[in-house]
Chain A
């Protein structure tokens, strides 16, 4: 093969395949000639286009004619490519009769390093996803085990605690004459502690059942006002002890709802107990019911200690007790509101809370009208 033929072949190959951008610039910076790769790389025809239209040079400091004074120098130039993303080229600027010749190529080593990084990061992401899903499955298994244990332990504890509660109450009522004041005090403490333990056990059992997914509602048609009256009457005892006034204002003609009466009673009892416990002596707790179109709303409002943003976030998390103190130093399991929310959600409703520290809290229970189980089918 002749030397000229060889050079011609190399040139032909380079013209067609070399990933080198080749531009001729006129003195005003307009492109007078561009190779196929340059137009493919930028993604548009370039002849007649000013170089600043595709070269990224916000500070307007690139002057091809100045750079061409040092034709051996390599300069990094950022170009907007056909993908819309910028790419850095290693460019050489050489003077020509008509202007400047620009030759630019991609830094292959940099590209390879980036590719390796991307592949590695992708693999890491995959492995982290795997670890995360494996960890999640393990946590779910542990949570199930915890619930099983809680269920068994509390079930076995419930009966003996019930006996302590019943007999200490009985002794207090029946044998108080034969006991001195200190002994009666001890007995009262035993009774109160057993009542608290029983509540704790019941709450643990409720949470265990809810979290195990075996929570079932026994829905029947019920009128809400009657339920609220009944639960409020029970809460009155607690309210009177704390000298808190309980005010009830119910909407007329509320339709009967498909609810589990016992469970919704538990929701109301928990919300009322909570409102009374955080109210100060002489305070008022309001209970309202409203017809809200396709839903019925129950509002429990207190003017008690209120909650901060942080406390609101933790409010419905099991086993995370609120930091705020109850005004009468009452003991609680911290599970009442968690249970209330789960029961309400199982009814297709929701509980919304607003609170201001020092001013009190408003709990709104929204329950759908109609039978959600029928709608599901």
Chain B
């Protein structure tokens, strides 16, 4: 499928991202949006793909952690460029609360998930990095969402994910909970089998599908 994100364009974007050149990255994103690129495709094929590649470069010692942090900051600063397009749409009567678990400082995946809900005309509330369980419980209680989505990037934070699942269930015993994040590359795939109503989603496109199916079933 021709999305407008050619390999050359992607390479230019990635190089600018690693340089921390926000202006060049913003220019590429604005051009793609002006050309009518779907925001879901932008998230999956530019933001997510480039950040995965930055992560791989860091893991293989090609770039320092400061460069990875800079790339993360640049990407997060580009996300508001799509907000006027997604927030102004007529919303469905569905709400999702998205959060990172406690001690999880990598929030971009979670924020993308909250935005994907918005793109699908849901109300996607995002609590941010390192969210304390009581804070998560309060928002779940207050917003009465249709679903809670929990993001974990670091493998060692998986026990906190299980605590968060139990904590959310104290407030809403039957609410569906979606889990996902880079931590599941290293393990934790058995977590859904230990709790009722938990679903592991491994990509943004799976999440897109899930939201559509949920809407068609309700």
Q: Which residues of A contact B (CB under 8 A)?
A: 115-116, 119-120, 122-124, 126-127, 129-130, 133-134, 136-138, 140-141
Contact = CB atoms under 8 A, between A and B. Distances in A.
A124 B80 CA distance: 13
Nearest to B124: A134
A47 B115 CA distance: 56
A127 B111 contact: yes
Q: Is the interface of B mostly helix, strand, loop or mixed?
A: helix
Given A123-B128, A124-B128, A130-B111, A140 B79 contact: no
B126 A130 contact: yes
B80 A133 contact: yes
B76 A133 contact: no
The A interface is mostly helix, strand or loop, or mixed, namely helix
Contacts, number: 49
A123 B126 contact: no
Interface residues of B, number: 21
Q: Which 6 A-B pairs have the closest CB atoms?
A: A137-B87, A133-B83, A126-B76, A127-B128, A137-B88, A122-B73
B87 A126 contact: no
A124 to B, nearest CB: 7
Contacts of A141: 88
A317 B73 CA distance: 38
B80 A129 contact: yes
B214 interface: no
Given A120-B129, A133-B84, 9 more contacts: A115-B66, A119-B69, A119-B105, A130-B80, A130-B111, A133-B83, A136-B87, A138-B87, A140-B88
A120 B83 CA distance: 21
A119 B105 CA distance: 9
A83 to B, nearest CB: 14
A250 to B, nearest CB: 46
Nearest to B69: A119
Contacts of B203: none
